[in-house]
A = this chain, B = another copy of it.
Amino acid sequence: MFGVTILGNNSALPAYNRHPTSQVITLADHLFLVDCGEGTQMQMNHYKIRRSRINHIFISHLHGDHYFGLPGLLTSFGLMGRIQELHLYGPSALKQIIDLILHVGATILPYKLHFHALEEESMLVDDEHFSIESFPVYHRIDCWGFIFRERRKPRKINPEATTQYNVPVEFFERLKQGEDFIQNDRVIPNETLTIPNKPPRSYAFAADTLYNESLADTVGNVDLLYHEATYLNDKLDKAVNRFHSTSAEAAMLAKRAEVKKLLIGHFSSTYESLEDFLEEAKEIFPNTQLALEGQTFMIV
């Protein structure tokens, strides 16, 4: 399974029972937490997230609605007796904050917390089956997005073709990796002997950002793009002033980046209803959905 579960979809102020930003990405049997607004651990209880499967937490930036739930989650992990190591990725000052909070509370975590400072676009997790990379976005303070990508899967053997050309079983692994087969000086192209596997899927979380065309290259062609939509387009000035985007802008970016599907969130507490966000985005990019809390969006 590859999917994203929304734990919080609101910006800044909690309102209308919407919570500040937090998402859980399920990928290759791992859970990854992206942002951790206040109340995230309660939302995890509510939506029965198996927190023991979280070994990596990514914090996009140090505005409170994206990390004020983190100290509570880290100390709760400790109180629950966690011993598995935990990797935390965020702007470097996050370590200072966590260290200070643990120090003044005389709290010693029973598990090892590895902190990784986000400083430049880079590969954060380099697994056999997937990768997670950071990329900078355009906010009032240092802010990072994250792309989750499956690795390209090996091609599949075409059994009829390999039988027809008498390819020895020992060569199958090389075929899967894309090699051609040579038989009596004759090249049998790989495409004849194999069939493509499912294309690798990808998810981009674009954090809090001004609309910026250059992001379209970074997140180009992902299967699912989460882009913030703090305001509707009639508050474009406000969005720009505060380094946020409108729903129309999120859709423009999705269109330009030629993504398959767009998920919008980080709604301002000015708006009680979210329907206008969806309508505004769909006019520009029809395959849009609202990041509703408790819902899981599959990456397909």
Q: Within the complex, what minimum Cβ distance (angstroms) separates A208 from chain B?
A: 12
CB neighbors of B among A41-76 (8 A): 41-42, 45, 62-65, 68-69, 71-72, 75-76
A289 to chain B, nearest CB (A): 25
Contact A76 B13 (CB under 8 A): yes
A4 to chain B, nearest CB (A): 23
Looking at A26-34, A90-98, A164-172, A251-259, the stretch in contact with chain B turns out to be A90-98
Given contacts A39-B42, A80-B13, contact A72 B63 (CB under 8 A): no
The answer to whether A12 and B68 touch (CB under 8 A), given A96-B100, A101-B97, is: no
| Contact of A141 with B by CB under 8 A | yes
Q: How far is the CA of A96 from the CA of B97 in the complex (A)?
A: 10
Complex contacts, A41 vs chain B, CB 8 Å: 14, 38
Q: Which of A211-239 contact B (CB under 8 A)?
A: none
> Once bound together, how far apart are the Cα atoms of A12 and B3, in whole Å?
31
A67 to B: closest C-beta gap in Å: 9
In the bound assembly, the distance between CA atoms of A69 and B15 in angstroms comes to 15
Q: Can you list 26 A-B contacts (CB < 8 A)?
A: A13-B76, A13-B79, A13-B80, A14-B41, A14-B45, A14-B76, A19-B42, A38-B39, A38-B41, A38-B68, A38-B72, A39-B39, A39-B42, A62-B104, A62-B105, A64-B71, A68-B68, A91-B104, A93-B104, A94-B104, A96-B100, A96-B104, A97-B97, A97-B100, A97-B101, A97-B104
- Chain A interfacial positions (CB closer than 8 Å to B): 12-15, 19-20, 38-39, 41-42, 45, 62-65, 68-69, 71-72, 75-76, 79-80, 91, 93-94, 96-97, 100-101, 104-107, 140-141
